[in-house]
A and B are shown apart, each in its own frame.
Chain A
Amino acid sequence: MIHSLFLINASGDIFLEKHWKSVVSRSVCDYFFEAQERATEPENVPPVIPTPHHYLISVLRHRIYFVAVIQSEVPPLFVIEFLHRVVDTFQDYFGVCTEAAIKDNVVVVYELLEEMLDNGFPLATESNILKELIKPPTILRTMVNTITGSTNVGEQLPTGQLSVVPWRRTGVKYTNNEAYFDVVEEIDAIIDKSGSTITAEIQGVIDACVKLTGMPDLTLSFMNPRLLDDVSFHPCVRFKRWEAERILSFIPPDGNFRLLSYHVSSQNLVAIPVYVKHNITFREGSSQGRFDLTLGPKQTMGKAVESVLVSSQLPRGVLNANLNPSQGAYTFDPVTKLLTWDVGKINPQKLPNLKGTMNLQAGASKPDENPTINIQFKIQQMAISGLKVNRLDMYGEKYKPFKGIKYMTKAGKFQVRTYQHFLMVQTSM
């Protein structure tokens, strides 16, 4: 299946290669570089590139291209999903997945890749198994290893691969037994010029951090499980139980994992927690444009809207912007024409506002395009869909664990359009 893997950084250097079958020359990446050149943006490089003898399937994460070389038919998603799993594993091991981190830990990276694929077919991709095989480097361990010459490779033979619950390592022990669950919901929305919602949906995940001794068997139930329209589970969740009782029953992996991701049924109207008043205009014949943007809270159930960040791609013709924020700070990148405004917290009494002028290139005509406004925000202690965890029970172990559940709502792909409709509407409907 997967023949080789090349890691390529933003400047086009291959800084790591690994082959699982016969060696494929790195010149195969030239086809990738060609495609990269053609693409205007880094993310526009096609994920699948056919070459005369191979196929290149790549993902872009953390400004690194992970390019897998394939020789014959294989489902592309299989490879893409695997590559993402590799990145997730690196992130899990090194905290970040950057070129520097990979270069620093090249031996661990190599050992991981060796374990994750055998002859190009995934072997061990569960983080719990991998951690049994290869201990993640910590500062302390690195120090100890340099002094004593001991190793990162697990001393015991990994038994996790043989178990019926491959996602959990055996013999877990903690002095403090705790299980934390974060319910994080994201609102994806497109708001049109007049402020009405074109489309809005809620996607949520439950991320867990479980540090429990032994083999605990957990059940998590919701007050309103009917809200969950479409769900996908970590393999540990017993599907039958969910189907029958709408209860999540599982033996958790050790450490951090994503228990569940869900989609809230689209019948429910989505509460939009912020509104935007905007007036972005360019006048014919004038080299100046007006910019006026006000944010306000809406349907937040009394919770504060925090970490608000507004960004907008201004038209190419804009030279610079002369704006005045009522709070926070703004930046405008004259090269990429990206305007970002770090608003912070929205104070309902004094709404944040950004106002001023934009200068156009002299002699340039009025831009046709109107920018979209992307908004990021966070609301703590609330799941916007109203999802509530009812209870968490543990079976199979005697001790009493500490349990915690946190709710949060974030903006996902939250966009406000400022487009003027072009004239088709008036002529037609």
Chain B
Amino acid sequence: MSASSAFNEEKMGSSSVGEAEYAYDPVSGKIFSSDYNRHDDLKEMLDSNKDSLKLEAMKRIVAMIARGKNASDLFPAVVKNVACKNIEVKKLVYVYLVRYAEEQQDLALLSISTFQRGLKDPNQLIRASALRVLSSIRVTIIVPIMMLAIKEAASDMSPYVRKTAAHAIPKLYSLDPEQKDQLIEVIEKLLADKTTLVAGSVVMAFEEVCPERIDLIHKNYRKLCNLLIDVEEWGQVVIINMLTRYARTQFLNPNLNESLLEDGGSGDKTFYGSDEDEDDDEKENKEKAEAAALAKRKPYVMDPDHRLLLRNTKPLLQSRNAAVVMAVAQLYFHLAPKAEVGVIAKALVRLLRSHSEVQFVVLQNVATMTIRRRGMFEPYLKSFYIRSTDPTLIKILKLEVLTNLANETNISTILREFQTYIKSMDKDFVAATIQAIGRCATNIGEVRDTCLNGLVQLLSNRDELVVAESVVVIKKLLQMQPEKHSDIIKHMAKLTDNIQVPMARASILWLIGEYCEHVPKIAPDVLRKMAKSFTYEEDIVKLQILNLAAKLYLTNSKQTKLLTQYVLNLAKYDQNYDIRDRARFIRQLIVPTEKSGALSKYAKKLFLALKPAPVLESPFKDRDHFQLGSLSHLLNAKAGGYQELPDWPEAAPDPSVRNVEVKESVPEWTKCSSREKRKEKKVEKPFYSDSEGESGPTESADSETNSASASDSASDSEQSRSSSESEESDEGSESEEEKENKNKKKVVKKAVKESESEQSSEEENRKLEKKIKQQEKDSETVSDDEESDSESSQSTSEDSESEAEVKKKAPVSRTPPKPVKKEKKEMSLLDLDDFEPATSPQVTPISTLLSNSLVTDLEGLSLSDSVLAPSTITPSGTLKSYELLHRITGEGLSVEYCFGRQPFSPDANMVAVQLQFTNNSTSETKNLHMKDVKLQSGMRVKEFPEIELLPAGDTASAVMGIDFCDSTQAANLQLCTSTRKFFVSIQPPVGELMRPVFLTENEFKREQGQLMGMNELTEKLILDAKYRNEHAIVQRVTTAAHLSRVPCGSDNECRFAGRTVTSGSLVLVTVATGEEGVAQLTVNCEKMVIGTMLVKDILLALTQ
């Protein structure tokens, strides 16, 4: 064999040569010599300065390593190339280095400096890979260097490097366990990391290094639960398994009451009786004792953190990764209340479709679960039916599950299924099926006889294995009620002639011996035959022959004395000492001699004692003391490194250990008064969120409590107001809620507002009494001035603006920074006085038109708009604002919208929508604009001008126009910032789809006359006592719909008119009041849909 052929062989490229490799004898000297030559050749290539040669050499070396060949003598030549420029050469050198560094410790040190340099690289990926290789080199001398590198990497900027650091921890630990304490510090630090990338790896390190330090988890528990769904799948498995153990130490058993019942029950009943029976029986038996025990316990309330874990793991049942699904399943099995465990069944059954190895593991676990929680899998019974193509291992496990699932109701189906299995060609499986039938028979009394008959028929099967197995099972069944079945015993006695399987023969002999009284004639004959063949029998059979002989001697010594002695003599000289011993023992007991002592008197009692029937138990019984899904559970033996699943604590440890205090460095982790509230918010976090996303919810929880307290304090003043206003004040508090970051200011403002509102409510009452249609000149409030002025001209409206500002300045003594921001506050402050002019019939059409045109000119000055708009027709304060974007979904940006009821100047067919943006986040939002509007056909949108910058905590507003085409279909929009997009939709109430027109009474009547028949809708209603005056009616109707009042001669009629915005169709509304609040509402409109909806809305407004 030449060197060149050996060289060829190295190239794994040609597969044919690879095959030939195994033909060589590795011990032959020839190979060694050629090895030597080969390596020379490789060294040369590695020393060359051509990358391609180096690569070729490295590839061959790696191929050698892959086949398990020793390439360690090349170490010096390879290590030289650790700093090679070529990436692939470098990677292959790493592979080599990690493989052989342990054997060549001194030489390996040569490479360390390269990695140390790599650790300082500005590129995070290079830092990570340097740490990865460095920590994989198992050389004890560099432990301090590794420790240092890990510590440094643990506080690296890049989460990827931190992840690598977490991976390095167990490597260092296995190299030098002395470093444990220092490593725990690093683990503790990394556990606090909030990125999903790190979470899985660090928990893995935790499990390998310090699984007993459960206290490290407390502070990170909630974070881990919340991050879980976004962690990569392998990390999920590790985290879930760890959290299962954690939960077992920290929470109370949710099934405490149930387990009390279980403990009291007799084993058989609990496992095999149906659930209801079990409960009933138990209750009857143990009621008193347990009632006392239960009474002592407090009613169980699940810790919210316990609930959090269950809720956050549940979606992972849908994972594609079987290991994740299994991990969640075991978590639910060990931690969930009994009623909730059922959810895992479906997912586990799904896994049965997977590879057979997966099936094998899943079925093992299902088998254990079915013993404790049978009901869970009963609906999936058919999924465990066996196919002839299943591997035997799987068949037997499925059989186990089916047997565990059998009960009175389904036993007939299961037995029918078992019958088909008996005919299988797989004999091991057939044997297992027969045993399964036996178990069903013992467990379910109703079918015992049926099974027994079936099994007896199997005794005539041609296959000896089947017969033998049947005999063994029948023996066990007969033991339960032998007297009934002497004919079966006789039948079996006959089988001794044919059946050769030792276990079966032994079983038959034992049966005959045990029940020899039932077959007095046959038994001695069997013994006679056995005595003949004694020497050829297997040991196990011989022992049973001795037993049989002894029992017969005691019951029927006349017939069998000689036979027994013959057998005992044969046994005396047997090769097996067990048999010799047994013979000697029996002889002493049963054959009376002078020497025999007192024992022989009791021989009968010894041999013919009543023996308890065997309990046929599942081999999976009690396996659940191992954590399900674990290797230990599968093997039913403790594997190295297995962490015991702790028992539930008697009393729950302090749950506050999981609270996270406010830290300056991490402001997001604010302590929250109501844990539950906070969590509920958190769950809503988007699927892709990173841990950073948590800041939003936490904050919001805080703000919620704040706003709640704020509204509480305001509630006193609210109660004093009329109910029509309470709605408004709600709005007020809502809008305040947004401005959470202005808490301090708010308190001051609140006080002002309260005093004002009291004042104004008094005022209002006065107005109502007097029914004065002019404002009260004597009133000191600024708002009155404003109203009167606003009707006339632009300049006055500007005045009113400045006045409004003054008014605000006065109490708060602070100028709001931007006019846009004022609008909202203005509304909440002024609304109470504003509506009065709206009801005034003296509002002339001229002024309306004028102000409309003014508004058109003043577009953009939102403050003046809001002041003007009410002056024309509507009470602006009753403008309802709707949420467009919640601050949680908007990641700090919240948007509300309301229908300002002013015409939209760029396009008269559009409805103006006022948007109010509030930036609740801590960073500024840029480039707020609309994009990619997706609308129903015909709808049009005029976008608002882009808001370039919205500083943190600030508020801005804008107006946009939407042509809804006279339909209440929502307009779907996309709201964009510089970084994010949000899909939002605006849905207009029908009342906002129209604008007021002025009609005289005559015009109104004429138009109404033309809109009769189908276009007229009439509805009778009973007005609420509060709304029986004209003023209230007008106010309610104009709030519900953007309409103007039509003058009317009659006292008990109110008329309103408007046109739809897009098509300009007339909308006429009449409310005629009668006695005792009876009223009739008439709507005339050619658009019937609009009309119908309007009737509904107004009806609602008037009766609520």
Is the CB–CB distance between B234 and A427 below 8 Å?
A: no
Chain A residues with Cβ below 8 Å from B125 are 157-159, 161-162
Contact with A along B343-386 (1 / 0, CB 8 A): 00011011001011110111000000000000000000011010
Q: A55-B631, A203-B353, A232-B350 are contacts. A81–B88 as well, Cβ < 8 Å?
A: no
Per-residue B-contact encoding for A20-37, CB less than 8 Å = 1, 0 else: 011100100000000000
Contact with A along B620-660 (1 / 0, CB 8 A): 00000000011110110101111100000000000000000
Tell me if B's interface is mostly helix, strand, loop or mixed.
Answer: helix
Q: Are A201 and B167 neighbours in the complex by a CB distance under 8 Å?
A: no
A78-B132 contact in complex given A50-B637, A59-B357, C-beta closer than 8 Å: no
Within 1-35 of A, Cβ neighbours of B (below 8 Å) are at 1, 13-19, 21-23, 26
B6 within 8 A of A: no
Residue of chain B at shortest CB distance from A124: B232
Report the minimum CB–CB distance from A374 to chain B (whole Å).
6
**How far is A103 from B392 in the complex, measured between Cα atoms in Å?**
32
Pairwise interchain contact A77-B640, C-beta atoms closer than 8 A: no
A258 nearest CB neighbor, chain B only: B320
Contact check, B323 vs A77: say whether CB atoms are below 8 A apart.
Answer: yes
**Residue in contact with B360 in the complex, picked from A47, A152, A190, A423, CB distance below 8 Å:** A47
Instruction: Say how far B7's CB is from chain A's closest CB, in angstroms.
Output: 16
- Residue pair B392, A41 in contact (C-beta under 8 Å): yes
A127 contacts across to B, CB distance below 8 A: none
Contact B318 A75 (CB under 8 A): no
Contact partner of B454 (CB less than 8 A), chosen from A59, A229, A423, is A423
Is B126's CB within 8 Å of the partner chain A?
A: yes
Contacts of B391 in A (CB 8 A): 41, 43-44
Residue from A74, A201, A239 in contact with B315 in the complex, judged by beta carbons closer than 8 Å: A239
For B416, what are the chain A residues with a Cβ–Cβ distance below 8 Å?
A: 421, 425
CB-based contact A424/B393 at 8 Å:
no
Whether the Cβ atoms of A73 and B326 lie closer than 8 Å is no
Answer yes or no: A80 CB below 8 A from chain B CBs. yes
Interface 9-residue window, one of A206-214, A288-296, A411-419: A411-419
Q: For window 94-126 of chain A, which residues contact chain B by CB distance below 8 Å?
A: 100, 103-104, 106-107, 109-111, 114, 118-119, 121-123, 125
CB-contact partner of B318 in A47, A232, A365, under 8 A: A232
Using A48-B635, A118-B132 as known contacts, say yes or no to A151 and B88 having CB atoms under 8 A apart: yes
Residues of A within 8 A of B357 (CB): 47, 58-60, 80, 84
In chain A, positions 65-93 with a C-beta closer than 8 Å to chain B are 70-78, 80-82, 84
A81-B87 contact, Cβ under 8 Å, with A230-B346, A428-B454? no
A315 at the interface (CB under 8 A from B): yes
The 8 Å CB contact of B631, one of A75, A100, A428, is A75
Q: Which of chain B's residues have a CB closer than 8 A to the CB of A424? A: 415, 419, 450-451, 453-454, 457
Residues on the B chain within 8 Å of A172, using CB:
none
Give the Cβ gap from B459 to chain A, nearest Cβ, in Å: 12
Chain A residue with Cβ nearest B415: A424
A26, A80, A149, A240: the one contacting B687 at CB < 8 Å is: A240
Partner of B323, one of A81, A192, A422: A81
Among candidates A17, A125, A238, residue contacting B68 with C-beta atoms closer than 8 Å: A17
- Taking the complex as formed, is B422 at the interface, i.e. its CB lies under 8 A from any CB of chain A? yes
In the complex, what residue of chain B is closest to A166 when comparing beta carbons?
B232
Kindly provide the distance from the CB of A353 to the nearest chain B CB, expressed in whole angstroms.
23
Residue B1043 is within 8 A (CB to CB) of chain A in the complex:
no
Please indicate the chain B residues that have their CB under 8 angstroms from the CB of A423 in the complex: 454, 457
Complex Cα spacing A331 to B946, Å = 75
CA of A415 to CA of B450 in the docked complex: distance in angstroms?
Answer: 28
A44 with B355: CB separation less than 8 A: no
Q: Does A231 contact B (CB under 8 A)?
A: yes
Please measure, in the bound complex, the distance between the C-alpha atom of A155 and the C-alpha atom of B91, giving whole angstroms: 12
Query: What are the residues of chain B within 8 A of A161 when measuring CB–CB?
Result: 125, 160
Please determine whether A230 and B347 come into contact, CB atoms closer than 8 angstroms.
yes
CA distance A17 to B67 in the complex (A): 6
Answer yes or no: B916 CB below 8 A from chain A CBs.
no
B361 touches A74 (CB 8 A): no
B171 within 8 A of A: yes
Stretch at the interface among B12-20, B257-265, B509-517, B598-606: B12-20
- The CA-CA distance from A121 to B690 in the complex, in Å, is 23
A233 located at the interface, meaning its Cβ lies under 8 Å from any Cβ of chain B in the complex: yes
- Chain B, Cβ-Cβ closest to A233: B318
Bound CA span A302–B387, Å: 29
Neighbouring B residues of A43 by C-beta, 8 Å: 356, 391
Contact digits for B191-202, partner A, Cβ 8 Å, 1 yes 0 no: 000000100010
CB of B81, distance to nearest CB on chain A (Å): 14
Distance from A312 Cβ to chain B, minimum over Cβ atoms (Å): 9
CB distance from A282 to the nearest CB of B (A): 12
B829 neighbours in A (Cβ, 8 Å):
none
> Is B66 a contact partner of A17 (Cβ separation < 8 A)?
yes
Spot the interface stretch: B51-59, B585-593, B812-820: B51-59
With beta carbons under 8 angstroms apart, the residue of B68, B356, B631 that contacts A70 is: B631
Taking a contact as CB atoms under 8 Å apart, the answer to whether B318 and A427 are in contact is no
Interface core residue of B420, B629, B686, B688 (most chain A CB under 10 Å): B420
Is B327 touching A422 in the complex (CB atoms < 8 A)? no
0 or 1 for each of A267-290: is its CB under 8 Å from B? (1 = yes): 000000000000000000000000
Is A199 in contact with chain B by the CB < 8 A criterion? Answer: yes
Determine if B424 is an interface residue (Cβ-Cβ < 8 Å): yes
Report chain A residues within 8 Å CB of B356.
43, 47, 60
Are B358 and A368 in contact (CB-based, < 8 A)?
Answer: no
Q: Is the beta-carbon distance between B383 and A241 smaller than 8 angstroms?
A: no
CA of A373 to CA of B451, assembled, Å? 28
Beta-carbon contacts under 8 Å, B133-148 to A: 135-136, 138
CB–CB A413/B12 < 8 A: no
* Interface check A351, CB cutoff 8 A: no
Q: How far is the CB of A358 from chain B (nearest CB, A)?
A: 15
Chain A residue with the shortest CB-CB distance to B22 = A13
Contact A315 B315 (CB under 8 A): no
Distance between A275 CB and nearest chain B CB, rounded to angstroms: 19
B383 and A201: CB pair below 8 A?
yes
User: Which residue of B has the minimal Cβ distance to A263?
Assistant: B350
| Given the contacts A26-B68, A43-B391, A122-B234, A368 and B461 also touching, CB distance less than 8 Å | yes
A221: shortest Cβ distance to chain B, in Å? 15
Chain A residues near B382: list those with CB within 8 A. 198-199, 201
B454, A73: Cβ atoms under 8 Å?
A: no
Which residues of B969-1027 have CB atoms within 8 Å of chain A's CB atoms? none
Q: Are B642 and A73 in contact (CB under 8 A)?
A: yes
A196 contact set on B, CB distance < 8 A = none
Structural contact, B87 and A365, CB atoms closer than 8 A: no
Chain A contacts of B361 at CB under 8 A? 47-48, 76-77, 80
Given contacts A153-B91, A421-B419, contact A76 B318 (CB under 8 A): no
Cβ of B229: which chain A residues have Cβ within 8 Å of it? Answer: 239
Give complex CA distance A134, B86 in Å.
14
> Is A46's beta carbon under 8 Å from chain B?
yes
In the bound complex, how far is the Cα of B461 from the Cα of A71, in angstroms?
Answer: 47
Q: Does B136 contact A422, Cβ atoms closer than 8 Å?
A: no
In the bound complex, CA of A19 to CA of B164 (Å) = 19
CA distance A326 to B355 in the complex (A): 36
B447 within 8 A of A: yes
Pairs A–B under 8 Å by Cβ, sample size 8: A47-B357, A72-B640, A110-B65, A121-B201, A125-B234, A157-B123, A203-B353, A230-B349
20 more A-B residue pairs beyond the given contacts A43-B391, A48-B631, with a C-beta to C-beta distance below 8 A: A17-B66, A17-B67, A43-B356, A47-B361, A72-B640, A73-B643, A77-B326, A104-B13, A104-B15, A121-B167, A123-B167, A154-B87, A232-B325, A261-B320, A263-B350, A316-B425, A415-B388, A427-B454, A428-B450, A428-B453
Using CB atoms and an 8 Å cutoff, list the residues of chain A in contact with chain B: 1, 13-19, 21-23, 26, 40-41, 43-44, 46-48, 50, 55, 58-61, 70-78, 80-82, 84, 100, 103-104, 106-107, 109-111, 114, 118-119, 121-123, 125, 149, 151-155, 157-159, 161-162, 164-166, 188, 190, 192, 198-199, 201, 203, 229-235, 238-241, 243, 258, 261, 263, 313, 315-316, 365, 368-372, 374, 413, 415, 417, 419-425, 427-429
